[in-house]
Amino acid sequence: MVKKVLKFGGTSVGTVERISYVANIIKKEHSTGNKIIAVVSAMSGKTNELIKISKEISEEFSKRELDVLLSSGEQVTSALLSGALIKLGIKAKSWMNWQIPILTDGEHSNARIINMHIDKINKFLDEDGVVIIPGFQGISKNGDITTIGRGGSDATAVAVAKILSADTCEIYTDVDGVYSSDPNKIPVAKKIDKISYDEMLELSSLGAKVMQSSAVQTAMMYDIPLEVKSTFSERKGTKIFNQDNIDYTKSVTGVAYSKDDAKVTIIGVEDRPGVAANIFEPLSKAQINVDMVIQNISSDHKTTDITFTVKRDDVLKTKQILKESAKIKYREIVENNKVAKISIVGAGMVSTPGVTYRMFRALSDENINILAISTSEIKLSVIIEEDNTLKAIKKLHTTFELE
C-alpha cells in the first residue's frame, strides 16, 4: 500500500466535466489500495477573476481580506471534487485548512506552511477515505486565512506529502511532463523521463513553468519523489528526484530560454577598483535584478566596458539610475532589448568534459554570435540576438541528442 499526494492544477479542474474526470483518476488510484490525499487548485481563471474584482474595489485591497477572498476558489473545487467522488461510491471528504488545521507563518499572500495536524487525516485514510484539501492556503497562528503565493497549490501538495510522510507526490497538470524545451514553441523538444531536483529548479527558473520553484526546493530538501504528469493522457510523466537516483546517459537534460532580458553596456568606465560596486549597488537598492556581468579590459588600461543583463522592464529605470549616480563616470550607455537568454541544463554537465566547448561550437556553426556567458554547476547560459532563438535551441537539441 502506497500513500500518495495527488495535486490537480486549475486547468485539470477547470470544468465540471474535468472534475468528474479527475474523480475517475482518483477512483482508479484508490481502487488499487493506495491511500490518496488530493490537493486542488481553484478552477482555471477563478483566482484572476477574484483578484480583478478586488482591484475594482481598491488597488490596495487589504491583504488579509484578499486571502479570505481568494481561498474561496479552492474551497469550491474541493467541495465539487469530493461530491464527484461520493457520487462514484467512494468515501471522500473535503477538509478546509482550518478543519485540519494546516498552519502557516502568518504572512498574508506569501505565507509558508509550517505544520499540519495529521491525526484526523490519517484516521480518515485508515478508514479507506479519500482526503481532499484546498491548496494555496493555510491558517495563521492567530486564526487568519493566509495564502502562500501564486502556484501555491504545488507547495501545499509537497508540504502535505512531507508532513504525512507520503511515498510520492504527483503533480497532475495540462502538460504531460517536463520537456527539454517548451514543446509548444520548439517542435523538436522531447519529454524528459527523469530529472533531478536541481535541474528542475534551473529549468523552471529559466522559464519552463511546470512547477512552482519553492515546491521543488521543499521536495528536494526532504527527498520527496515528485512526478509531473498529464491529467488528460495515460502517458508516463516526468519523475523528479535526487540526482543520485538518476543514471545519466546524457550530459544535458534540457534547453531553456527566456525572452524578457535586455543587455546594457556601459562604455568607457574608469578601470579602477570599486567601479563595479558603484554601478551595481544603486541598482540592487532599486530592486533591479542584474543577471550576467561581463567586463572587458580596455586597450589603454584606463577605461573599460561593462556589460550586464537585466529584465527588459527594468531597462529605463537602470539607465536613469546610472545617469543620476554621481559616482559613476562613463562615456556612453548602449542597450539591446532584442536579445534572448539560452541555457543548457544538466546534472551530468559537471562530470562531462567539453560541454561548454560543444555549446559554443554548435552556436558558432550556425553563425550565432554570443553576447554574454554565465555558468553554474548544472547550467550554462548565453545571451544571443533574439532572432536566433529558435535556430539556437534546435541546434542545441541536435548537439546534445535531446531530440
Q: Does the protein bind a copy of itself through residue 86 (CB under 8 A)? A: yes
C-beta of 103 vs 402, nearer to a copy of itself: 103
Smallest gap from residue 352 Cβ to a copy of itself (A) = 52
Q: Does the protein bind a copy of itself through residue 188 (CB under 8 A)? A: no
Q: Are the CB atoms for 204 and 213 separated by under 8 Å?
A: yes
Query: Which amino acid makes up residue 258?
Result: S
Query: Which amino acid makes up residue 400?
Result: F
Q: Does the protein bind a copy of itself through residue 164 (CB under 8 A)? A: no
Can you tell me which of 16, 221, 286, 334 binds a copy of itself, judged by CB under 8 A? Answer: 16
User: What angle (nearest 5°) sits at the alpha carbon of residue 14, between those of residues 8 and 18?
Assistant: 75
Q: Are strands 35-40 and 3-8 parallel, antiparallel or unpaired?
A: parallel
Give the range of 15-23, 234-242, 267-275, 305-313 binding a copy of itself by CB under 8 A: 15-23
Q: Does the protein bind a copy of itself through residue 122 (CB under 8 A)? A: no
C-beta of 49 vs 365, nearer to a copy of itself: 49
Can you tell me which of 33, 143, 353, 354 binds a copy of itself, judged by CB under 8 A? Answer: 143
Q: Does the protein bind a copy of itself through residue 91 (CB under 8 A)? A: no
Smallest gap from residue 144 Cβ to a copy of itself (A) = 8
Q: Does the protein bind a copy of itself through residue 51 (CB under 8 A)? A: no
Give the range of 86-94, 180-188, 304-312, 385-393 binding a copy of itself by CB under 8 A: 86-94
CA dihedral sign, ordered 169, 171, 176, 178: negative
Alpha carbons 382 and 366: distance in angstroms, whole number? 14
DSSP 231-295: SS--S--EEEE-GGG---S-S--EEEEES-EEEEEEEEEE-STTHHHHHHHHHHHTT-----EEE
Q: Does the protein bind a copy of itself through residue 53 (CB under 8 A)? A: yes
Can you tell me which of 5, 13, 39, 80 binds a copy of itself, judged by CB under 8 A? Answer: 80
C-beta of 62 vs 337, nearer to a copy of itself: 62
Can you tell me which of 27, 51, 99, 150 binds a copy of itself, judged by CB under 8 A? Answer: 99
Smallest gap from residue 58 Cβ to a copy of itself (A) = 4
Query: Which amino acid makes up residue 178?
Result: V
Applying CB under 8 A, what is the total number of residues that bind a copy of itself? 36
Can you tell me which of 3, 27, 51, 93 binds a copy of itself, judged by CB under 8 A? Answer: 93
Q: Does the protein bind a copy of itself through residue 69 (CB under 8 A)? A: yes
Give the range of 50-58, 239-247, 251-259, 298-306 binding a copy of itself by CB under 8 A: 50-58
Q: Does the protein bind a copy of itself through residue 168 (CB under 8 A)? A: no
Residue 273 in grid coordinates: 577598483
Alpha carbons 382 and 388: distance in angstroms, whole number? 12
Q: Does the protein bind a copy of itself through residue 33 (CB under 8 A)? A: no
Q: Does the protein bind a copy of itself through residue 19 (CB under 8 A)? A: yes
Residue 278 in grid coordinates: 558603484
Give the E-state strand segments of 49-129 in sequence order.
Answer: 92-94, 102-104, 113-116
Beta-carbon contacts of residue 118 (< 8 Å; ≥ 6 apart): 163, 164
Tell me which residue of 50, 228, 221, 249 sits closest to 150, measured CA to CA.
Answer: 50
Strand, coil or helix: 180: coil
Give the burial class of 169: count Cβ atoms within 10 A of its Cβ; 0-12 exposed, 13-18 middle, 19 or more buried.
Answer: buried
| Residues at the interface with a copy of itself (CB under 8 A) | 16, 19-20, 50, 53-54, 56-58, 60-62, 64-66, 68-69, 71-72, 75-76, 78-80, 82-84, 86-87, 93-94, 96, 98-99, 143, 145
